[in-house]
């Protein structure tokens, strides 16, 4: 499988997983509201009934309450009481299996095969093979998997809290599945990748548990990049950009001020690398940026797109995770050459044609 799409296949599998249960649940009758409680089991008692209640959308397992539940923002109405409906256990199991299998397939499909081995890839250093863009990719990819799987599990009938826990665990497990496969191909098992995957899943957990999707988030985007090279060890990340977003509208809700038209904007810190690993080292770049872009979540809200409908969930989640090209502009600082570029949309790459080696498939 092309390494260009390998890291995002788990997220794509999760995206497909979201659509199926949400569409299937679209015509379900409204579930009855019910209060549920969960007491800690006595010593020696079986956890089977508790786990059954967990799958059925009741309170989490004893000891699972981490105290991270978000409070309603000032000025907002309290969220509706948690509703309970019977979860589709077979669908939940199938969604999990598809996601894990898709992650494993990314790596195990890579040829040729090698004996099990480890690789010390480093982090964001100038001499790493991708300039750190691969680690940003791992983080955002498994953040996305956690977000997507939570919506899929909700569509399959799980409660919000249970879906968040299972989605986070599935995302971390998917990262491990990919790395186990990498240990048998040319890349090798990388602990740095595992850590980046886990941190991304944990970030998803924190955002979902505190209900701050309207305040912060992380996205992946495509930017124009000439002379992108394919082939060899690893992929060229010059066409990709990763963002950490701060949304003005969410701040306004929590601090009780009217953001006005600024609610349609978000501020982002960005990261990307240019020319790794195929261009000559002298022209490679590691770009850290700051930009201002369109907050599509608020645009959807202004257009009265219902967040409860299955198609509304898909639209909100898509724009929460994907940076649409040419909808954000800012400035980038090249860590390798101590230079600023911009204003741009993340596509600045001077001397990009000075490449020592071309892959077999060049655009």
SS3 325: coil
| Paired tokens of 83 | 């509703």
pTM for the full model? 0.78
H helices of the chain, in order, are: 3-6, 9-25, 48-55, 89-108, 133-155, 160-182, 191-209, 248-255, 296-302, 310-321
Per-residue pLDDT of 250-277, as tens digits, reads: 999 999 999 999 999 999 999 999 988 8
Q: In this predicted structure, what is the pLDDT of residue 109? A: 83
CA-wise closest residue to 87 among 145, 21, 140: 21
CB atoms within 10 A of CB 246: 14
Q: In this predicted structure, what is the pLDDT of residue 357? A: 41
Q: In this predicted structure, what is the pLDDT of residue 299? A: 97
Q: In this predicted structure, what is the pLDDT of residue 224? A: 84
Tabulate helix, strand, coil % of the chain (nearest 5): 40, 15, 45
Low-confidence ranges of the chain (pLDDT < 70): 1-85, 226-233, 351-363
Per-residue pLDDT of 311-340, as tens digits, reads: 999 999 999 999 999 999 999 999 999 999
147 and 317 Cβ atoms separated by less than 8 Å: yes
207 and 213 Cβ atoms separated by less than 8 Å: yes
CB atoms within 10 A of CB 153: 30
Query: CA–CA separation, 7 vs 141, rounded Å?
Result: 7
Kindly report the backbone phi and psi dihedral angles of residue 138, in degrees, each rounded to the nearest multiple of 5, phi listed first. -60, -45
Classify strands 285-294 and 328-334 as parallel, antiparallel or unpaired.
antiparallel
Query: CA–CA separation, 103 vs 101, rounded Å?
Result: 5
Q: In this predicted structure, what is the pLDDT of residue 232? A: 59
SS3 193: helix
């Amino acid at each position: 499988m092309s390494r260009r799409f390998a890291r995002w296949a788990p997220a794509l599998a999760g995206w497909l997983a979201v659509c199926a249960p949400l569409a299937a649940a679209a015509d379900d009758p409204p579930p009855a509201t019910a209060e549920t409680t969960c007491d800690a089991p006595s010593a020696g008692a079986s956890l089977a009934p508790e786990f059954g209640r967990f799958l059925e959308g009741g309170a989490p397992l004893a000891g699972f309450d981490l105290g991270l539940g978000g409070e309603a923002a000032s000025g907002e109405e309290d969220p509706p009481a948690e509703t309970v409906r019977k979860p589709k256990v077979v669908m939940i199991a199938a969604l999990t299996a598809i996601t894990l299998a898709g992650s494993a397939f990314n790596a195990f499909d890579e040829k040729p095969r090698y004996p099990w081995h480890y690789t010390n890839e480093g982090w964001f250093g100038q001499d790493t093979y991708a300039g750190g863009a691969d680690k940003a990719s791992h983080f955002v990819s498994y953040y996305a998997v956690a977000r997507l799987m939570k919506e899929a599990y909700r569509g399959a009938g799980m409660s919000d809290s249970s879906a968040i826990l299972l989605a986070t665990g599935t995302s971390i497990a998917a990262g491990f599945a990919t790395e186990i496969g990498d240990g048998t191909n040319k890349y090798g098992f990388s602990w740095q990748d595992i850590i980046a995957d886990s941190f991304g899943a944990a970030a998803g957990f924190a955002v979902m548990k505190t209900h701050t999707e309207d305040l912060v988030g992380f996205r992946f985007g495509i930017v124009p990049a000439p002379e992108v090279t394919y082939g060899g060890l690893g992929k060229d990340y010059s066409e990709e950009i990763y963002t950490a977003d701060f949304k003005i509208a969410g701040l306004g809700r929590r601090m009780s001020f009217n953001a006005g038209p600024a609610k349609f904007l978000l501020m982002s810190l960005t990261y990307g690398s240019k020319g790794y690993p195929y261009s000559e080292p002298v022209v490679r770049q590691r770009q850290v940026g700051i930009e201002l872009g369109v907050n599509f979540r608020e645009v959807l809200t202004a257009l009265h797109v219902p967040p409860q409908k299955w198609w509304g969930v898909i639209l909100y989640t898509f724009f929460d995770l994907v940076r649409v090209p040419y909808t954000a502009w800012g400035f980038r600082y090249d860590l390798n050459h101590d230079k600023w570029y911009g204003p741009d949309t993340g596509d600045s790459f001077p001397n990009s044609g000075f490449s020592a080696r071309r892959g077999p498939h060049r655009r």
